[in-house]
Chains A and B, each alone.
Chain A
């Protein structure tokens, strides 16, 4: 993705994330796992709002939300209560959503959180709320052409957390980093599987110097957010450069065409008539409760990165890359059990592997490799069996075929050559083919590198560099002496 000028850009994010590891929905006992079920089979009187039914709060959802709040450095108010957000739309069986509110006597689930970016910059997260997911609407073809709307309530009532940041981002890249950190935190908490279709949705507000605020709605994955924002910056900049003012509006991100499309220009703010949900009694979240949740929390990515640096002697940068995804960090730790050189291992996973995955658009999971593959790779290099350069060939082959690296190295003859007899004869050959270079090297020690390069080239980097260096220098010294 090309870099662009982000002068004067202000971005805020609103993330909706399903708590997919809960067994049941937020206010009833219908299962949380609605995916792949025939429409309207994962429902009960409560989640389809049957007259006379009443919501009952899922206590486990409160615990999970509290874990997220603590991991994102939020304050958790003592009193938790719900509000109704009233609006008529077919995705809401009750025609109101049970959510939380920060005015009219309401309080969000948590307030004043933040995530710190690697640069040290703090992104403030104003509030976090617990609420129910609406039903899913679908159409015959497109919204515009369909003569019918289909409603599937299987998803209705699934637990959502809504996380709203302040407009603290100054570039799409910062937004991406934030979302990477957020998703790693959620993964480490094991509260949400972000790989499940529809488990996460994001809205982004973006404005540029001199322009009005544009909201891009319903971006369906964290990866798409940066793309959508980059597109918006280009679009808004090109408008401005033509002297057209950017209007306040709501736009939709079209993932396939990779453009944003205008949904509506700023209209009067909708009045949701928020008021307290009297069917759910306020819950007191005691200090004891918060402490207990804290005690039960697993290790978070930041702590884990610090531990990696300390226990495995990784660089800060490598450690950060490894903890960006829980799966990768787990993979690293498993591989480290089989490796004598965790630093070497870390660099294969954090640098070489990432470059490959980015280039081919793949995930570690798809490669079907075991931690042992990478441990063996690292061990071969750190024991001097294969040079770092030659190992690269085996590495790519391993990623492509899934074969163990040692067998690739053996088959391809990648093993380091430290047989001095062989190297001596090779030096004979290269010295005789390059008399001028030998003369240069005699005069200028820096010119030795050319001769070493020739040796490496002739053996595809397999010669032990220390051995080659020693022998070339000996030969040059001898030549000098005989002169």
Chain B
């Protein structure tokens, strides 16, 4: 098999071939590294590459396979990690000048689990600084480009991870999703991405942006591979007290499906949603209906949805203002060179220079929302909306197995196009933030193309029902396949 072609195999199939010694982990990792060298100048998915250690690890795994040892579920396949998740011995920059040289002393729980299942960590990927953004343009290290069309943004904030998977620069990747940061780039880069149920995946080792909202989530090029990585990273972790033991220990994807009823809230297709997007998603729905599969759809209304976006931004920014307070340059991170200044001046200068404009904006807005006199009006009110929204979703899930929406309200836009208009960028999260506010799992699957650009469909399920998402997601990808060869760097 041609070296580059092996990268185009569905990843679960590549895993079987490595297990069966048809190909080696070293071959796969080497092919991936070669691919990275070829496409990185155009895509810029990575901040840090972990080449030598990855090859050494792959060789060790191959040796183990030859000896007949127990092979882990990730079978020597390369995984890319968003650079706000800690990998011991390497920098965790969060794409910020602030943490440019911060070497992490420990592995995140998800990284431990990947290594435990013989996954190979191949590099750390680009993101919007501290995961604050929807386009991966707010990175201290420069933007990532969309491999489907490099004149477009890849979505964000986990744009580096999505681009790496889409451009065959990794078999899988991890991102983090605070308000859509996995689903947005999955949709824009035409791959599959999951925001798991809050508490399903340990956050230990994820650098917090808004800790009550975010989860680490997997990216893959197909649903089955996405489910595989999900099953590796999910599960209770004593180091994260918000983690849960409710995630099923073995995620079995049944071939024969029960009939699923899917609610389609009309609010997800209204304000700010591009015609091309809503049409593509609605077409996808009618094609699924016509295919005679076990899916039925019904349009519904969830009126609280219109308050979700402001509530999300108030909560996220409030939490960010506190979570990012520790970056004062004293123990690590950017420090002004002048050693004669007093403490107050030092931390103000460190933070003024070390953080980019968008991070500073969110810290200041969050600080404002938590301040005496504004707290009730903003933070508490946002929390009330969150409670009401959760109630509305609970009600909807009494009638429906799943809810459906576009993943993104607009098509992948041009690099630099919205950089100067933060409000327009915030609007891009309108489809995704409800799942974060309510804690439910949500999957983005490619469902079509509009104006030559990929469109993602978002499926949402009740807490810890990721199995339903994967089952429905596989139907979508089987019945509505998107031709990846149409993209610029999305095929070998």
Binding site for B on A (CB under 8 A): 45, 48-57, 84, 86, 88, 90, 93-96, 104-105, 149, 151, 271, 273, 275, 278-281
A148 CB to nearest B CB, Å? 9
Residues B371 and A273 in contact, CB atoms below 8 Å apart: yes
Q: A-facing mask of B285-325, CB < 8 A → 1, else 0?
A: 00000000000000000000000000000000011011001
List residues 345-366 of chain B with CB under 8 A from any CB of chain A: 347
Q: Are B331 and A93 in contact (CB under 8 A)?
A: yes
| In the A-B complex, the 4 residue pairs with the closest CB atoms | A95-B325, A278-B212, A273-B370, A51-B207
B375, CB-defined interface residue at 8 Å: yes
Which residues from chain A contact B238 at a C-beta distance below 8 Å?
56
Inter-chain contact B380/A104, CB cutoff 8 Å? yes
18 example contacts (A-B, Cβ-Cβ < 8 A) are as follows A49-B326, A50-B104, A51-B86, A51-B207, A52-B84, A52-B206, A54-B240, A56-B240, A56-B241, A86-B325, A88-B344, A90-B328, A93-B326, A95-B325, A273-B367, A278-B242, A279-B241, A280-B242
A86–B102 touching, CB < 8 Å: no
From B106, B205, B239, B321, give the contact of A56 (CB < 8 A). Answer: B239
Q: A57-B241, A273-B371 are in contact. Are A279 and B205 (CB under 8 A)?
A: no
Give min CB distance, B152 to chain A, whole Å. 31
Contact flag A275-B322 (CB < 8 Å), given A45-B105, A50-B105, A56-B239: yes
Cβ-based interface call for B388 (8 A): no
A406 vs B321: C-alpha distance when bound (angstroms): 72
- Distance in angstroms between the alpha carbons of A86 and B375 in the assembled complex: 14
- For the complex formed, measure the closest distance between the CB of B8 and the CB atoms of chain A, giving whole angstroms: 34
A281 interface neighbour in B86, B207, B242, Cβ under 8 Å:
B242
B211–A52 CB distance below 8 A? no
A84 to B203, CA, bound (A): 19
Least CB separation from B368: chain A residue: A273
Give A336 Cβ to nearest chain B Cβ, in Å: 48
State the CA gap A280–B318 with chains docked (Å). 17
**Is B108 an interface position by the 8 A CB rule?**
yes
For A276, the closest partner residue in chain B by CB is B212
Given A45-B106, A279-B211, A54-B204 contact (CB < 8 Å): yes
Residues of B with C-beta under 8 A to A55: 241
A49 and chain B: residue at smallest CB distance: B326
Which residues in A have their C-beta under 8 angstroms from that of B322?
84, 86, 96, 273, 275
| Cross-chain contact B325 with A54 (CB below 8 angstroms) | no
Asked if A52 and B207 sit within 8 Å, CB to CB, the answer is yes
B2 at the interface (CB under 8 A from A): no
Chain A residues contacting B206 (CB-CB under 8 Å) are 52
Contact B104 A52 (CB under 8 A): yes
- Majority secondary structure, A binding face: loop
Of B84, B94, B330, B370, the residue contacting A90 (CB under 8 A) is B330
Tell me how far the C-beta of B99 lies from the nearest C-beta in chain A, rounded to whole angstroms.
7
Q: In the complex, what residues of A have CB within 8 A of residue B86's CB?
A: 51-52
Complex interface: chain A residues within 8 A of B57 (CB): none
Q: How far apart are A87's CB and chain B's nearest CB, in angstroms?
A: 9
B85 at the interface (CB under 8 A from A): yes
Q: Complex: how many Å from CA A207 to CA B278?
A: 68
Contact A52 to B99, CB < 8 A, known contacts A93-B331, A273-B371, A278-B211: no
Residue interface mask B99-124, A partner, CB < 8 A = 1: 10010111010000000000000000
Which A residues are in CB contact (< 8 Å) with B205? Answer: 52-53
For residue B333, give the distance in angstroms from its CB to the closest CB of chain A.
Answer: 9
Report if B372 contacts A (CB, 8 A): yes
Task: Report the bound CA distance from A48 to B326 in whole Å.
Answer: 10
- Distance in Å: Cβ of A152 to nearest Cβ of chain B: 12
| Chain B contact residues, CB within 8 Å of chain A | 84-86, 92, 94, 99, 102, 104-106, 108, 203-208, 211-212, 238-242, 318-319, 321-322, 325-326, 328, 330-331, 343-344, 347, 367, 370-372, 375, 379-380
Given contacts A90-B330, A104-B375, 20 further A-B contacts (CB under 8 A): A48-B331, A49-B326, A49-B331, A52-B84, A52-B92, A52-B104, A52-B205, A52-B207, A54-B203, A54-B240, A55-B241, A90-B328, A90-B343, A96-B322, A104-B380, A273-B375, A275-B318, A275-B319, A279-B240, A281-B241
Q: In the complex the two chains form, what is the Cα distance from A139 to B203 in whole Å?
A: 37
B287 to chain A, nearest CB (A): 41
| Most A CB within 10 A of own CB, among B203, B344, B372 | B372
Instruction: Give the Cβ gap from A454 to chain B, nearest Cβ, in Å.
Output: 77
Q: From A85, which residue of chain B is reached at the shortest CB distance?
A: B322
Partner of B325, one of A50, A56, A96, A271: A96
| A143 CA / B239 CA spacing, docked (Å) | 38
Known: A88-B328, A273-B370, A278-B212. A53 touches B204 (CB 8 A): yes
Cβ-closest chain A residue relative to B102: A51
Shortest CB-to-CB span from B205 to chain A, Å, is 4
Evaluate whether A280 and B241 lie within 8 angstroms (CB atoms) in the complex, with A48-B331, A52-B206, A273-B322 already known. yes
A residues near B321, Cβ cutoff 8 Å: 86, 273
CB distance from A271 to the nearest CB of B (A): 5
Alpha-carbon gap, A151 to B346, bound state (A): 15
**Residue contact B204 to A95, C-beta cutoff 8 Å:** no
Report the separation of the CA atoms of residues A86 and B320 in the bound assembly, to the nearest whole angstrom.
12
A47 CA to B211 CA, complexed, in Å: 18
Which residues of the other chain, B, contact A281 by a CB distance below 8 angstroms? Answer: 241-242
Known: A51-B92, A53-B204, A275-B379. A88 touches B325 (CB 8 A): yes
Which single residue of chain B is at the shortest CB-CB distance from A27? Answer: B241
Chain B residues closer than 8 Å to A45, beta-carbon distance: 105-106
The listed residue with most A CB atoms (<10 A of its CB), out of B211, B325, B379, is B325
Which residue on A lies nearest to B205, using beta carbons?
A52
- Residues in A whose Cβ lies below 8 Å from that of B326: 49, 51, 93-95
Is there contact, CB below 8 Å, between A94 and B331? no
Bound Cα distance A94, B208 (Å): 12
Question: Which has the most chain A C-beta neighbours within 10 Å: B102, B212, B318, B328?
Answer: B328
CB contacts (< 8 Å) of A50 on chain B: these are 104-106
Partner of A149, one of B204, B343, B379: B343
Name the CB-closest residue of B to A84. Answer: B322
Task: Give chain B residues whose Cβ lies under 8 Å from the Cβ of A279.
Answer: 208, 211, 240-242
Interface centre among A45, A52, A104 (most CB of B within 10 A): A52
**Closest Cβ of chain A: how far from B80's Cβ, in Å?**
17
The CA of A56 and the CA of B203, in the complex, are separated in Å by: 12
- Please give the distance in Å from A114's CB to the nearest CB on chain B: 31
The answer to whether B347 and A88 have CB atoms under 8 Å apart is yes
Cα distance, A346 to B206, chains bound together (Å) = 62
Which residue of chain B has the shortest Cβ distance to A103 in the bound complex? B375
Residues of B contacting A88 in the complex (Cβ-Cβ under 8 angstroms): 325, 328, 344, 347
* Distance of A28 from chain B, by nearest CB (Å): 9
**Within 8 Å CB of B85, what residues of A?**
52
B261 to chain A: closest CB distance in Å? 32
Whether the Cβ atoms of A275 and B242 lie closer than 8 Å is: no
Task: Give the Cβ gap from A186 to chain B, nearest Cβ, in Å.
Answer: 28
Q: Which B residues are CB-close (under 8 A) to A53?
A: 204-205
CA distance A281 to B367 in the complex (A): 23
Question: Residues of A contacting B207 with CB < 8 Å?
Answer: 51-52
A302 vs B321: C-alpha distance in the bound complex, in angstroms? 48
CA separation between A105 and B383, bound complex, in Å?
11
Instruction: Kindly provide the distance from the CB of A139 to the nearest chain B CB, expressed in whole angstroms.
Output: 12
Quote the shortest CB–CB distance from A42 to chain B (angstroms): 16
Instruction: Give every chain A residue within 8 A of B99 (Cβ-Cβ).
Output: 51
Q: A234 vs B31: C-alpha distance in the bound complex, in angstroms?
A: 83
Indicate the member of A50, A94, A273, A279 with the most B CB atoms within 10 Å: A273
Interchain CA distance A53-B240 in the complex, whole Å: 9
The smallest beta-carbon distance between A40 and chain B, in angstroms, is: 10
- Residues B347 and A54 in contact, CB atoms below 8 Å apart: no
User: How far is B212's CA from A149's CA once the two chains are assembled, in angstroms?
Assistant: 34
A208 → chain B, closest Cβ, in Å?
A: 30
